[in-house]
Amino acid sequence: MRVDRWSRYGLLLVPALVLLVTLGCSQEKNGAKAPGKDGRQEGGKIAQETQASSRSTTTTEVATARGTGTITGVVKFAGTPVPPEKISVTKDKATCGQEKRSKALVVGPNRGVQYAVVSLTGIKTTPGTSADNPQLDQKGCEFKPHVLIAPAGSTIDILNSDGLLHNFHTTSAKNPSVNKAQPGFRKKMKVKFDQPEIVKVTCDAHAWMQGWIVVAEHPYYAVTDETGSFTLANVPVGSYQLNIWHETLGKAGKDVTVHARKETPVSFELTK
């Protein structure tokens, strides 16, 4: 049988076409893509985006990567301890008692100063948070605790455990004043302070009642205990100003340097 010239060409072209189709399918399965208009593969764009993402590291992450340490210390009274002032109770004695002892200056047997506020300056972080609202109670016609630390912007629960008429009144420089009556049946009310500062708290119904709310701009605040001691834990490595504030003895400060996984001891002596 005679095969013409065009038929022979067709027989040769069929295998070539099959080979081209097979190669094209193989490339598609392997995920190969054509270059973009600018001649770069899409993979180059993904690599650039990954590098940009890895560079966006926060200040807190950098500080944590460098490690943290602990500051411990004590605040003492320079001189002979003075007994707390006695204050006569003039009303609601069945609940408030006959007299109170002022907490404006409480000095322990080892001359440790209680209720001094310790804080750091020069640290960059956000206010701390807690699962529960900070609470300031009016119990026994006293504010408990005498000094409360609350993160800036947090909601503070003002409690009335006495069942008496109290009047919660604040004095501050940066935050609006609060002046609210709290009858005995109103067991809880809420307040909030957005600007960091130390807020004085009084009760217009009981003149001897006085306390303090420390509106904190970061988590590194503490109040000294009955021995005058304090601890600031998990402080990022670095150099800071350590500040002391006391309602009667005033202010003091020292430079401190925190090293990773180490304790930095500090001591203060305050006088009138």
What is the domain-level CATH number for residue 245? 2.60.40.420
d(CA 248, CA 252): 12
- Is 225 contained in some domain? yes
- Is 7 contained in some domain? no
d(CA 203, CA 183): 12
- Is 205 contained in some domain? yes
- Is 4 contained in some domain? no
Spell out the residues 6+ positions from residue 101 whose beta carbon is closer than 8 angstroms to its own: 84, 85, 86, 87
Structurally, the chain folds into a number of domains equal to 1
- Is 122 contained in some domain? yes
- Is 182 contained in some domain? yes
Spell out the residues 6+ positions from residue 122 whose beta carbon is closer than 8 angstroms to its own: 238, 239, 240, 241
Which whole-number Å values give the CA distances from 250 to 28, 105, 208, 218, in the listed order? 76, 11, 21, 22
Q: Domain residues for 135?
A: 65-270
Strand order in the sheet with 188-192: 142-144, 135-139, 155-160, 188-192
- Is 233 contained in some domain? yes
- Output the six-digit token pair for 157: 């629960």
Print pLDDT tens along the chain (272 aa): 444 443 444 444 444 444 444 444 444 444 444 444 444 444 444 334 434 333 333 344 445 568 999 999 999 999 888 899 999 999 999 999 999 999 999 999 899 999 999 999 999 888 877 779 999 999 999 999 999 999 999 999 999 999 999 999 999 999 999 999 999 999 999 999 999 999 999 999 999 999 999 999 999 999 999 999 999 999 999 999 999 999 999 999 999 999 999 999 999 999 98
- Is 31 contained in some domain? no
Read off the pTM.
0.77
